[in-house]
Amino acid sequence: MEPLSLRTRRVFASVSFILFLIILPIAGLYASGYRLSGFSLVSTGGIHISAPLSGTSISLNAEELERTSLFSKTFFFDNLTPGSYVIQAETEGYYPWSKTLVVESRLVTDVSVLSIPQPVRLFELTQATSTLASVDALSTTSTTQLISADDYAVIADVFATTTPTLKNTGTSTEEQVSPSVDIESGVGLVIEDGDLLVRWERNSNPPSSFCTRPSLCVTHFFIERTPQTVTDAEFFGGGVIYRTEESGVMLSEVDIRQPRLVVSIYSDPQASFRIIDGTLYIKDGETIYRVEGF
Amino acid sequence: MKKNDAYLHIGRASDLSGVDRTLYRFFEMIPGALSVITLLLFIVLSFFIPSVVAYFTIGFSAYWLFKTIFLTTHLRHNFKRMTHNLNIDWTKKLENTNHEEIIHLVILPFFREPYEVLAESVRAIDTASFSNKQIAVVLAAEEAGGREALESAQRIEKEFQNTFLAIMTTVHPKGQEGEIPGKGSNIAYAAKVSKEKIIDARAIPHEKVIVSAMDSDTVVYKDYFSCLTWHFLTCDNPLRSSFQPVPLYNNNIWSSPMLSRVLGYSSTFWQMIQQERPERLSTFASHAVPLVPLIEANYWQRNMVNEDSRIFFNLFMLYDGDYEVIPLSYPVSMDANVAPTFWGTVQNLYKQHLRWSYGSAENIPYLMFHFIKNPNISLVKKVRLLFVHIEGAWSLAVQPLILFAVGWMPLVIGGKDFNNTVLSYNLPIVSSWFLTAAMFGLVFLAIYSLQLIPKNPQNHTFRAQVPMALQWILVPFTMVIFSSIPGLDAQLRLAFGKYLGFWNTPKFRT
């Protein structure tokens, strides 16, 4: 039996090379977002969505496309011709979320779902007489929770001695008169004349939540710009928690694109909030509530 | 040696002086420089033009797929050819040839290998179909190997005293000037001594003698010498040809860890592919060379690590490009690289691949230097050979790293503008299509390895075969850890003049 002849090998090599040359531009165009439509090439874009919870149904233009699981919480929808798309996310026990997104040619519109429990559960904190009682009480689903007198005192003290708006962690440049009251991943939270806005504090390109479309981004936008007056604000639970003198404590997502999910957490205008060790507390008069589900 | 071949046995730049030394030193830097520049380009360009790098990575993944298909066709054909050759009655085929005139001088160099390893190799020569009276066995010991090693050789010599045309032990003296310790200096010494004491003492014509330089663990198959003799007698120019069997690492395959098996068979498959592309083939591990050219080349180089491939290039240069390697497509069996512990095995495998990679790198300056010095070799041959070896060394070190590391750099350092593009999202998707398709090539490797492997001496069940098939999933990992990294390591050592010394692969059997 003879080795492969030079001729046979050259045929193999030529066929492989020709196939490679054919596939190369096809792969390149496909990867860039070009698709064949009839006999013409159309340029497409895509949407990349990430959702924090398992069991979230993701729909595009009212058609369910995916469902998140423990191992799969981000999806890339490609082959989308440029235009507007309505994307929705629904999770049992959470507020429905939706966005109208603009898809552009060869670009990807990136968006993250904000999951807010529905209803938001508040537990009234009650001082226990012993530590043991507080442990038992925490494991129940009662709307009241017993905590130790010491823990209660700590929380009450935070409400009495601090304010959430004066952390002043942001940087203030000459143009940016108002300092940030909170900052997270380069995004500053600013209260300016009773309005609440977020501001991109870095010199690099802002994240997709600052972009009405992938190619059009702003450096700041308003979260709350109604006649209501915002007094306190802080990043919390993937969004921003704030208080207005008129409507009480609200939670809003931080995204310029509409519709923006805004949920009333506690509607009494007299209420105030604090975030202690990652937990949200609301105080109304002498009553303190712990907010669950975040 | 011919007068005009003063440069024939250059081992490294320091063997030369003046301009020649500078030139050779420059050539030594080329393999490492090409690999490092390629990898750096990927990283730097990922900052500035990530899209171009992304397109290149996708294109490269496609190239990898077609290369896999192309090489698999070669592997498939060689598998069929080797199976065919194993079923041929080579003794019968030798009828009507003057095979009775041929003498095989078989050199088994060893250092401190145990008696059992050497004895098995000699036993296989004894039971081979070719007449023992035409085979002379040389046990090539090292003085540095110590008394125990010498006693093993003497024991074997005694056992097989009247079995062959001759059997002798040579002891390569240590610390010879101009030599580095290792297989090259040992077999060169053994060949020279045995040529005088066995061949010349019996007045055997040199042109009738084939020298087989075996690794000490080489176990020949029954018809190996018949097959080799037939090829020697029937090839176009026997005294301008070396002969290369297919190395199978089967001796201890069932007691080897998965990693050793995969790497052993990967080497085998690469050699099988090369057997179908003889113009790219150079001698490797156990090989055979006619005595006449061997004498004219003054035997193997004594001053370098990888004498096995270098002897081919020595002869190629000596005969102005009129020298070739003839693939036998017939196997010999050797030991898979194993140490007493898993970590020891990993270290040995790395060192072995470092040595092989170093060999492929250090041949490049040798070729370039000789091609400049030798006007008698055709330009086409020079360009082709140089391309084959530069591309080979570059591929070995760089390709797996492009596919599994630096090719993905645009995603990490390409910036937000790039990360917002469909191209950025599709880079891993489209590349993985090609790479996944290329992974189907592993199925062929699994099938062929299952057919080449000997029966498990302890467990014949189907269940015992399963790991032998599944082990091929390790290939992407072994490509990076035991191909790219030792490849780069070897090339950088050569580039910086940190020359590698010989490392004897320990032979260990459970």
Convert the pLDDT of each residue in B335-355 to its tens digit: 998 888 999 999 999 999 999
Convert the pLDDT of each residue in A229-255 to its tens digit: 999 999 999 999 999 999 999 999 999
Strand-pair category, B135-142 with B166-172: parallel
Q: Which of A228, A231, A230, A220 lies closest to A170, judged by CA?
A: A220
Within an 8 Å CB–CB cutoff, is residue A222 touching chain B? Answer: no
- Minimal Cα distance from A48: which residue of B? B425
Q: Which of A269, A268, A266, A242 lies closest to A253, judged by CA?
A: A242
CB nearest to A32's CB, from B69, B84, B423: B423
Report how far apart, in Å, the C-alpha atoms of B104 and of each of B124, B204, B289, B491 are: 14, 11, 10, 36
Q: What CA–CA distance (Å, rounded) separates A163 from A169?
A: 14
Record the tokens describing residue B426, joined without a space: 């599709």
pLDDT band at B509 (very low <50, low <70, confident <90, very high): low
Q: What is the pLDDT of residue B377?
A: 95
Q: How far is A16 from chain B (nearest CA, A)?
A: 6
Contact predicate B250/B217, CB 8 Å: no
pLDDT band at B460 (very low <50, low <70, confident <90, very high): low
Q: Say yes or no for a CB contact (<8 Å) between B425 and A16.
A: no
CB nearest to A108's CB, from B276, B327, B420: B420
Q: Which of B479, B477, B425 lies closest to B54, judged by CA?
A: B425
Report how far apart, in Å, the C-alpha atoms of A277 and of each of A35, A236, A280, A287 are: 50, 11, 8, 19
Q: Say yes or no for a CB contact (<8 Å) between B420 and A110.
A: yes
pLDDT at B10 over 50: yes
pLDDT at A130 over 70: no
Residues B377-397, mean pLDDT to the nearest whole number: 95
pLDDT at B95 over 90: yes
Q: How far is A199 from chain B (nearest CA, A)?
A: 18
Q: What is the pLDDT of residue A136?
A: 38
Residues A39-47, mean pLDDT to the nearest whole number: 95
Q: Say yes or no for a CB contact (<8 Å) between A27 and B59.
A: yes
pLDDT band at A131 (very low <50, low <70, confident <90, very high): very low
Q: What is the pLDDT of residue B435?
A: 94
Record the tokens describing residue B418, joined without a space: 């790039």
pLDDT at A132 over 80: no
Q: What is the pLDDT of residue B510?
A: 63
Buried b (16+ CB within 10 A) or exposed e, B197-215: ebbeeeebebebbbbbbbb
Q: Say yes or no for a CB contact (<8 Å) between B62 and A23.
A: yes
Q: Which of B473, B74, B424 lies closest to B258, judged by CA?
A: B473
Q: What CA–CA distance (Å, rounded) separates A122 from B137?
A: 91
Contact predicate B141/B110, CB 8 Å: yes
Q: How far is A179 from chain B (nearest CA, A)?
A: 26
- Minimal Cα distance from B73: which residue of A? A12
pLDDT above 70 covers a percentage of chain A that reads 90
> Which residues of chain A lie closer than 8 angstroms to B434, CB-CB?
27
Q: What is the pLDDT of residue A139?
A: 36
Q: Say yes or no for a CB contact (<8 Å) between B416 and A205.
A: yes
Q: What CA–CA distance (Å, rounded) separates B290 from B311?
A: 12
Q: What is the pLDDT of residue B382?
A: 96
Which of B55, B246, B422 to substitute to test the interface with A, most A CBs within 10 Å? B422
pLDDT band at B468 (very low <50, low <70, confident <90, very high): confident
- Minimal Cα distance from A11: which residue of B? B70
Q: How far is B506 from chain A (nearest CA, A)?
A: 34
Q: Greatest CA separation found in chain B?
A: 80
pLDDT band at A145 (very low <50, low <70, confident <90, very high): confident
pLDDT at B453 over 90: no
Q: Which of B485, B230, B462 lies closest to B354, judged by CA?
A: B485
Q: What is the pLDDT of residue B141?
A: 96
Convert the pLDDT of each residue in B172-183 to its tens digit: 999 898 898 889
Q: Say yes or no for a CB contact (<8 Å) between B421 and A30.
A: no
Q: What CA–CA distance (Å, rounded) separates B240 from B297?
A: 12
Poorest-pLDDT segment among A117-121, A141-145, B140-144: A141-145
CB nearest to B425's CB, from A3, A16, A76: A76
Order the strands of the A74-80 sheet from edge to edge: A74-80, A45-50, A108-112
CB nearest to B59's CB, from A16, A24, A32: A24
Q: Which helix (H) or strand (E) holds A230?
A: strand A230-236
Q: Say yes or no for a CB contact (<8 Å) between A31 and B422.
A: yes
Q: What is the pLDDT of residue A40?
A: 92
Residues B374-389, mean pLDDT to the nearest whole number: 95
Rounded to an integer, what is the distance from CA B43 to the centroid of its chain? 32
The domains of chain B, with CATH numbers, are 99-344 (3.90.550.10)
CB pairs under 8 A between A and B: 92
Q: What is the pLDDT of residue A177?
A: 59
Q: What CA–CA distance (Å, rounded) separates B480 from B488?
A: 10
Q: How far is B421 from chain A (nearest CA, A)?
A: 4
Q: Which of B57, B76, B4, B12 lies closest to B306, judged by CA?
A: B12
Q: What CA–CA distance (Å, rounded) separates B20 from B408?
A: 41
Residues B361-375, mean pLDDT to the nearest whole number: 96
Convert the pLDDT of each residue in A176-196 to its tens digit: 557 888 889 999 999 999 999
CB nearest to A31's CB, from B84, B415, B430: B430
Record the tokens describing residue B357, joined without a space: 């990679």
Query: Within 10 A of B180 (CB to CB), how many other CB atoms are there?
Result: 18
Residues 6+ apart with CB under 8 A from A187: A198, A199, A200, A201, A207, A235, A254
CB nearest to A16's CB, from B70, B80, B415: B70
Convert the pLDDT of each residue in B155-169 to its tens digit: 999 999 999 999 999
3-state helix, strand, coil split of chain B in percent (to 5) is 65, 10, 25
Which of B72, B420, B427 to substitute to test the interface with A, most A CBs within 10 Å? B420
> Which residues of chain A lie closer than 8 angstroms to B329, CB-CB?
3
Q: Say yes or no for a CB contact (<8 Å) between B58 and A31.
A: yes
CB nearest to A107's CB, from B77, B422, B429: B422
pLDDT band at B228 (very low <50, low <70, confident <90, very high): very high
pLDDT above 70 covers a percentage of chain B that reads 96
Q: Greatest CA separation found in chain A?
A: 96
Q: Say yes or no for a CB contact (<8 Å) between A20 and B426.
A: no
Poorest-pLDDT segment among A145-149, B15-19, B434-438: A145-149
Residues B22-32, mean pLDDT to the nearest whole number: 97
Q: What is the pLDDT of residue B466?
A: 82
Average pLDDT over chain A reads: 89
**Residues of B engaging A, defined by a Cβ cutoff of 8 Å:** 54-55, 58-59, 62-63, 66-67, 69-70, 73-74, 77-78, 80-81, 84-85, 275-278, 327, 329, 415-417, 420-427, 429-430, 434
Angle separating helix axes B441-452 and B50-87, nearest 10 degrees: 30
Length, in residues, of chain B = 510
> Which residues of chain B lie closer than 8 angstroms to A25, CB-CB?
none
Sole residue written with tokens 């002798």: B168
Residues B262-285, mean pLDDT to the nearest whole number: 94
> Which residues of chain A lie closer than 8 angstroms to B62, CB-CB?
20, 23-24, 27
Convert the pLDDT of each residue in A211-224 to its tens digit: 999 999 999 999 99
Q: Say yes or no for a CB contact (<8 Å) between A46 and B425.
A: yes
Amino acid at B104: H
Which of A11, A16, A101 to substitute to test the interface with B, most B CBs within 10 Å? A16
> Which residues of chain A lie closer than 8 angstroms to B277, CB-CB?
4, 9
Q: What CA–CA distance (Å, rounded) separates B246 from B448?
A: 14
Residues B230-259, mean pLDDT to the nearest whole number: 94
pLDDT at A134 over 70: no
Sole residue written with tokens 């604000």: A233
Length, in residues, of chain A = 294
Q: Say yes or no for a CB contact (<8 Å) between B62 and A27.
A: yes
> Which residues of chain A lie closer than 8 angstroms to B67, CB-CB?
16
pLDDT at B220 over 80: yes
Q: Say yes or no for a CB contact (<8 Å) between A20 and B85.
A: no
Poorest-pLDDT segment among A20-29, B93-102, B148-157, B441-450: B441-450
Q: What is the pLDDT of residue A293?
A: 83
Amino acid at B179: E
CB nearest to B422's CB, from A3, A4, A45: A45
